[in-house]
């Protein structure tokens, strides 16, 4: 069997959302060859870099720095795992040429990382309930990912040698968590700027940035072991 065809069919189900933590962890190792902790570390450290900005910086700088540092972290931490930097025009990615994978880092809307939001063609699913990128994509993204953006379950994928994935995050300031997912778009909106459907979504574990919760965990005493009641007797001579 042709290696490219076998690899493509193995990697890509259609309209699948994985939200079970154990299943998600195994799927990431199976497809990408690394632990999901790598992605969570990228998101968390990008958020830390974002928080280093001040009110004196331009308003848009925090978000841009999060994107820039997150992209750099993603590349740096995957270099030893067979990945490399990939840039085409103004579109930034990390690539594993052997596996046929491209990953782009970006911010998403409030539905990103939510288990219940399953993208589909169902009429009852409104467009504003779909996990999608927050900032519109340019034409370069569409050009790079075009072979997979057909949104058709009957489409043959044997001619796709590289699959484009997106690592999206959403900062929920109200609940003090960051939600994220690693997903493979299958269709864009009519204007070509937002994700409308996916081949696959892998929901990642939420990241808490609540200082009080972390402080409570640090101060929580370790459980006291049960006392052992025993009697000492002198051995008879």
* pLDDT tens-digit readout, 35-47: 999 999 999 999 9
Q: Is residue 43 within 8 Å of residue 36, measured between CB atoms? A: no
pLDDT at 138: 81
Q: Is residue 169 predicted with pLDDT exceeding 70? A: yes
Tokens representing 110 are 């409030």
Question: Distance of alpha carbon 68 from its chain centroid, rounded?
Answer: 16
Q: Is residue 18 predicted with pLDDT exceeding 80? A: yes
Q: Is residue 158 within 8 Å of residue 33, measured between CB atoms? A: no
Structural domain boundaries of the chain? 17-219
- Give the mean pLDDT of the chain: 81
| E strands, the chain, in order | 16-18, 84-88, 91-96, 101-107, 163-172, 177-188, 195-203, 207-208
pLDDT at 90: 87
* pLDDT tens-digit readout, 181-219: 999 999 898 888 999 888 899 999 999 987 765 444 434
């Amino acid at each position: 069997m042709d290696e490219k065809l076998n690899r493509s069919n193995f990697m890509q189900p259609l309209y699948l959302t994985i939200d079970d933590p154990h299943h998600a962890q195994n799927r990431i190792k199976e497809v990408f060859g690394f632990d999901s902790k790598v992605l969570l570390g990228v998101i968390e450290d990008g958020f830390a870099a974002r928080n280093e900005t001040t009110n004196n910086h331009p308003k848009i700088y925090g978000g841009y720095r999060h994107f820039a540092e997150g992209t750099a972290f993603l590349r740096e931490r995957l270099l030893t795992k067979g990945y490399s930097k990939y840039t085409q025009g103004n579109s930034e990615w990390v690539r594993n040429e052997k596996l046929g994978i491209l990953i782009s880092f970006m911010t998403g809307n409030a539905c990103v990382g939510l288990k219940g939001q399953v993208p589909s063609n169902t009429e009852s699913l409104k467009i504003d309930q779909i996990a999608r990128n927050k900032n519109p994509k340019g034409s370069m993204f569409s050009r790079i990912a075009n072979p997979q953006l057909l949104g058709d379950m009957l489409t043959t994928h044997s001619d796709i040698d590289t699959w484009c994935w997106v690592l999206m995050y959403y900062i929920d300031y109200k609940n003090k968590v960051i939600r994220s997912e690693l997903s493979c778009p299958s269709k864009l909106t009519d204007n070509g700027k937002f994700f409308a459907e996916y081949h696959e979504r892998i929901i990642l574990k939420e990241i808490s940035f609540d200082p009080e919760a972390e402080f409570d965990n640090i101060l929580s005493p370790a459980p006291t072991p049960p006392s052992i009641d025993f009697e000492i007797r002198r051995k008879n001579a």
